[in-house]
Structures are given as structure tokens and as C-alpha cells.
Amino acid sequence: MRLRTKTNDFRERLRRPPPDYTQRSVKLRIFIYLAAIMAVLSVIERSRNPATWQWMWGRQWEATEKLDNRLRESGHRTANDPAGTFVTAPDPASADDSVLAAIQDDTPIFRPAEREAWFHQLARVRNVDAQELEHSALRNVAYLQLHKQPADYRGKVVSVKGTVRQAYRTPALENELGVKEYCVYVLQPVGQPDAVIFVYALDAPPGFPRLGVDSGDPKGKMREDVDVTGIFFKRCAYAARGGTYTAPVLIANAPRWTPPPAAIQPSDRFTMLEIGGAAVAALLLAICIAAVMWKRTGRSHRLVGQQRSSGFVELGPLELAPSPQEKLRELERQARGEGNPS
């Protein structure tokens, strides 16, 4: 009995041939795999951004305390008093107090009545040493403190942090200090994305992005993190889209800004060593690809040959019947033998 082997077992299941990468279906399957991998990597990268999760769950950044900085019809404390009401105030204790007494909150930044107070604080900022000003500053002053308690911080040196969203230059009124213009920084304080602080500075930090020529210059839009140490002047009123709002005003010398690290610029020229290395690397890569393709092609041919040969049954040596001519000759020989007995 003949044993069943790979060569004579025609019932053996044929091996699956290797994929043909020239077929459209195989190309489509590979494209789907690559697209899925790229989608997963994109989701992983997006998940690192907290704003993506907030957008996904329909949430927005909220400040620690909701602040309504819109200016109402009147901010005067005698607005609801009967006509003819007089308000008395104690005599100022010092010259600085008498100057600060003329400042009124919720009014435009520049008022004729506050001219003396403005340039008095500006002279303090310009004449005092920067280190001394930093040493005397109140640290970690929050935006809400300046906005809700302007009388307590008026004329005091404070330090705030935030992001400059706009910066531009504006001319200064004629003055004895010789100041020709101001560098205005619209600062978004930390933790208050819907609020601003106006900083009127004498100069810009070295290397700072170019300031706009006025408040309407779109080139003045930016996003730069700074620290500002200056004198709190008042809570001013300014017009914006949707109405009139209020914001603190600081008088400073110049913000503290750290420039971002310079990006490494790629060289336009390549040395002969770099060109030679690239050529050798390309040659080695081509050789590796050719070797892999040759090996896979030879293997596929061998597998196809084995699969084709495995479908046949080994029959062994067969005995064939004589042809009609041979049969007739055999009968003729037999007849002659019978006709000539020995």
C-alpha cells in the first residue's frame, strides 16, 4: 500500500500564495492600513491639547470668577443723590495724595484734570532705578484686585503677568519730560481671557516684535508673554465692540520679555562629504530593496511550482496494451506455428 505524502496526496490543501502588490485590491488594502495608522497618530497628537477635549465636550475656558467689566450709564457716586448735594473729602495728607485725588475711575485715559497726576507718575517711572522699582513692587497682584479695588492700588507699584495681544505706538501730549510717544501694550492677564490691561510704557524690550503705528495697524497683533512692573494709575473706560468697558491702566518703563530660542536655519550648501554620504546611503538602500524583492520573488516562484506539482498523483510505471498491428502480427505468428507442427 502506497503511503500518503505531500507529492501524492492530491487532497492536501494548497498553500495561500503571497499577495500580488500590483493588484488594485492589495493596493487599496495597504492604503486603508496606512490611513488608519495616520488617523490614530493624529488623534494621539490632538489629544495632547486640552482645548480639543473642551471642544469635544462642548466646554469653554472659564475664568475663576465671572467678571462684568462693562461700564454702566454712570459711575459717579452722586448719580442717585438729589440735586444740590455736596460731597466733602478730607484734606490730602501729602502732595502725592493731592495729585492722586484728581484721578477718577471709569473715565477716558487722558483727562485734562488728570494731566498733572499722569506726568507725575510718569516721572516716577522714568527717574527711579529699574531694580529699585522691582524691589518695591507688589507681587502677584491679580486682575480682579486692580479692577475691583482701584482706590487701594492707585499710585502703587505692582507687577502683573500676561500675554501681549496688541502693541502700537501713540504720540504723547506736549510735556516737560520730553516724552514724545508711548508704547501701548494691550495685555491679556493670566486667568482672564476676556479682560485686558492697558500698559503705557516708555520703550519696548530689545528684540521685541515690531509695534504697530497706531491702534488700527493689523501688524501690531501678536501673542507674546511678558512681565510688567509699573504704577497703577486708574480703571479707565474704553469703547469696544458691544459697548463701553473698563480696564486697569499701568504706567511702566518697559515690559520684561524673553525672546524665544532662535530656530536653527538649515544650510543651503552641502559639503562633498554630505553628498557622498547621501549617495552611499541611497545605494545601500537600493541594494537592500533589490535583495528583498529578489528573495521574495524567488520564494514565490518556488511556492507556485510546489503548489502546481502537489496537485498530481504519482502513478508509477504503467504497462500499456499492445497496439492492433502488434496484435495482428502475434496472431499471424501463432497461425504459422500451428500450420507447421514440429
Q: What is the pLDDT of residues 3-53, one digit of tens each?
A: 555 555 545 555 677 778 788 887 888 888 788 888 877 877 777 776 766
The secondary structure element, H or E, covering residue 171 is strand 157-171
Higher pLDDT among residues 312 and 230, named by residue: 230
Alpha-carbon distance of 45 to 24, in angstroms, equals: 31
Provide mean pLDDT across the span 112-128.
92
Residue 324 has pLDDT above 90, yes or no: no
Average pLDDT over residues 102-110: 92
At residue 280, the pLDDT reads 77
Q: What is the pLDDT of residue 63?
A: 43
**Highest mean pLDDT, choosing among 68-82, 118-132, 291-305:** 118-132
**pLDDT tens digits, one per residue of 170-213:** 999 888 889 999 999 999 998 888 899 999 999 999 999 999 99
Residue with cell 492697558: 198
Average pLDDT, the chain: 78
Give dist(CA 249, CA 185) in Å, integer. 10
Percent of the chain with pLDDT over 70: 69
Domain that includes residue 229, residue range? 95-257
Which parts of the chain fold into alpha helices (H)? Answer: 24-47, 50-56, 95-100, 115-127, 130-135, 143-148, 150-153, 272-309, 324-339
| Residue 30 in domain | no
User: DSSP class of residue 235?
Assistant: E
Q: Indicate whether 291 belongs to any domain.
A: no
Q: Is the pLDDT of residue 74 over 90?
A: no
Q: Is residue 262 part of a domain?
A: no
Predicted confidence (pLDDT) at residue 298 exceeds the cutoff of 90:
no
Residue 29, pLDDT score: 80
The amino acid that residue 132 corresponds to is E
Between CA 313 and CA 250 the distance in angstroms is: 99
CATH assignment of the domain containing 116 = 2.40.50.140
Confidence label for 1 from pLDDT (cuts 50, 70 and 90): very low
How far is C-alpha 192 from the geometric centre of its chain's CA atoms? 21
Q: What is the dihedral of CA 40, 46, 50, 51, to 10 degrees?
A: -130
pTM: 0.55
Q: Whole-angstrom Cα distance, residue 197 to residue 146? A: 10
Specify whether the CB–CB gap between 214 and 168 falls below 8 A: yes
Q: How many domains does the chain have?
A: 1
C-alpha cell at 321: 496494451
Work out the percent of the chain whose per-residue pLDDT is above 90.
34
Residue 103 has pLDDT above 70, yes or no: yes
- Indicate if the pLDDT at residue 147 is higher than 50: yes
pLDDT of residue 254: 93
Specify the range with the lowest mean pLDDT, choosing from 47-56, 109-118, 190-199, 259-268: 259-268
What is the secondary structure of 294-310 as a DSSP string?
HHHHHHHHHHHHHHHHT
pLDDT at 262: 67
Burial 219-243 (b: 16+ CB within 10 A, else e): ebebebebebbbbbbbbbbeeeeee
Residue 148's nearest CA partner among 219, 250, 246, 273 is: 246
- Give the dihedral of Cα atoms 274, 280, 286, 288; nearest 10 deg: -120
pLDDT class for 92, splitting at 50, 70, 90?
Answer: very low
126 has pLDDT over 70: yes
Q: What is the pLDDT of residue 333?
A: 83
pLDDT at 70 over 50: yes
- CA–CA separation, 19 and 25 (whole Å): 10
Q: Per-residue pLDDT for 93 more than 50?
A: no
241 or 314: which leads in pLDDT = 241
- Distance separating alpha carbons of residues 111 and 271, to the nearest angstrom: 65
Judge whether 28 lies within some domain: no
Query: Which range (67-76, 99-108, 215-224, 252-261) has the least confidence?
Result: 67-76
Q: How far apart are CA 195 and CA 235, in angstroms?
A: 12
The C-alpha atoms of residue 214 and residue 204 are separated, in whole angstroms, by 15
Answer whether 118's CB lies under 8 Å from 108's CB: no
